[in-house]
Structure 1
Amino acid sequence: MSIANDSLSAIFNLDETVAVTSGTKNGRGYLDRPTTVLAGNEILSTDYVLHCLDSEFGSLKFGDSVLVEDANGNDVSYTVRANEADLDGLTRQVSLSKV
C-alpha cells in the first residue's frame, strides 16, 4: 500500500463516516449539509455534498441514485447532481439532491 492509500483508509474510517450505497457499490463517506441564506434572508437552501473515495464512487454520474446513512442509521435517498474529482484525484465531491 502507498502512503496516500494508507492515509485515506485512516480518514475514511468507520467511526467518522456514514455508509453509502449506490447499486451494488458500498463504501463510506462524509456528508456535508451546508445551509445558504438567499434573497435577503428569505430563503434557506441546503447543498448536500458527499466526500468519498474515487475508487468507490468515482463512476457516479448525473441522475444516479445514492443511499446515505443518517445519524439514526436510516438510509436516506439522494440523486447525483455532479461528481467532481478533488485536487489529488483520490477523492471525489459528489453534489446530491435529497429525494
Structure 2
Amino acid sequence: MSVHDDITSVQRSLDDLHRSLGRLENQLGGGGLEMRRVRLDADHLRESVALLREAASTPAAARRPDLVTISDTPYDISLWTDSDDEGLGARDRHAP
C-alpha cells in the first residue's frame, strides 16, 4: 500500500469511530466527562491525520530546510573588541 492509501484507511477508521461515538453518546448521554474526553481525543486524531495527509502531499524536496553556506574566510577581529573572553571574565579583572 502507498502512504496515501494508508492515510485513507486511517481516515475511514476514524470516520467509523466518529459514527460509533455518536451512537454511544445517544445511549450513554454526551454530558459525562469520560464521553467528552473520548470525543476530544477522536477529534484530535482527525486533526492529526489531516495534518499528516497535508505533509504527505508536499514533495520531499519542499520539506528540506534551506542550506546556509558559511564562508571559510576569517571574521574581522574588530567585531569583538568590546566583548569579554567567554568564561574568562574581563581582561582587567581577576576571577573570584
TM-score (norm 2): 0.21
Higher helix share: 2
Higher strand share: 1
Greater gyration radius: 2
TM-score (norm 1): 0.21
Higher relative contact order (CA 8 A, sep 6+): 2
